[in-house]
Each structure stands twice: as C-alpha cells, then as structure tokens.
C-alpha cells in the first residue's frame, strides 16, 4: 500500500471521515466518479462511442448510459446511419 499526502481546504478536510478505511472508500468513490465524468466529457467532444467511454471509465455500458442520462447527455447519432423509421423518432 502507498501512502499519499494531500493538502485540502479546511472545510473539505473536516468533512472527511475519521476512520482510515472510510477515507480510503471516499477516495475510491471520488476516483470512480472522476473517471466517469472525464470519459463523458471526452464522449461529448466526439472522442469515441459511449461504449468506449464506459471502457475508459472502467464501468459497464449500462452504468455509463445511466450516468449520461443523469447528466442529460444525449446519444450522438449520425443521421445518415439511421433508418427512416428511427430518424422519425428523433
């Protein structure tokens, strides 16, 4: 295990749990969320598919779809690849 030292604003430091294992969990959850946000931002810039974003964030496609919806990120669709029926639904 590696020890990491961080400098945090007082207000943020006060909100961290006292228990070391709980602090580790906070960091794990924060890193996971950060990976999702970074991957979705790349997706919005056109850097790959939503499936690629999920892979990049190390989460399932299903979870990435839910994360995108929660953030009101709509799927990027190439209209030329749609059937007439699917295009009518957009």
**Residue numbers of the domain that contains 36:** 19-73
**Does residue 30 lie in a domain region?**
yes
Report the Cα 2 to chain-centroid distance in Å.
Answer: 25
C-alpha atoms less than 13 angstroms from C-alpha of 15 in its C-beta half-sphere: 7
**Does residue 60 lie in a domain region?**
yes
pTM: 0.77
Q: In the predicted model, what is the mean pLDDT of residues 5-19?
A: 92
1 — pLDDT class (breaks 50, 70, 90) = confident
Query: How many domains does the chain divide into?
Result: 1
**Does residue 11 lie in a domain region?**
no
Contact 40, 53 (CB under 8 A): yes
- pLDDT score recorded for residue 79: 67
**Does residue 29 lie in a domain region?**
yes
**Does residue 85 lie in a domain region?**
no
> Could you tell me what percent of the chain has a pLDDT over 70?
84
């Amino acid at each position: 295990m590696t020890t990491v030292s961080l400098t945090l604003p007082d207000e943020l430091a006060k909100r961290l749990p006292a228990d070391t294992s709980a602090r580790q969990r906070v960091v794990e959850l924060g890193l996971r969320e950060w990976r999702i946000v970074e991957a979705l931002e790349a997706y919005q810039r056109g850097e790959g598919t939503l499936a690629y974003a999920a892979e990049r964030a190390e989460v399932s496609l299903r979870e990435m779809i839910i994360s995108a919806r929660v953030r009101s990120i709509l799927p990027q669709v190439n209209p030329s690849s749609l059937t007439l029926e699917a295009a009518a639904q957009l």
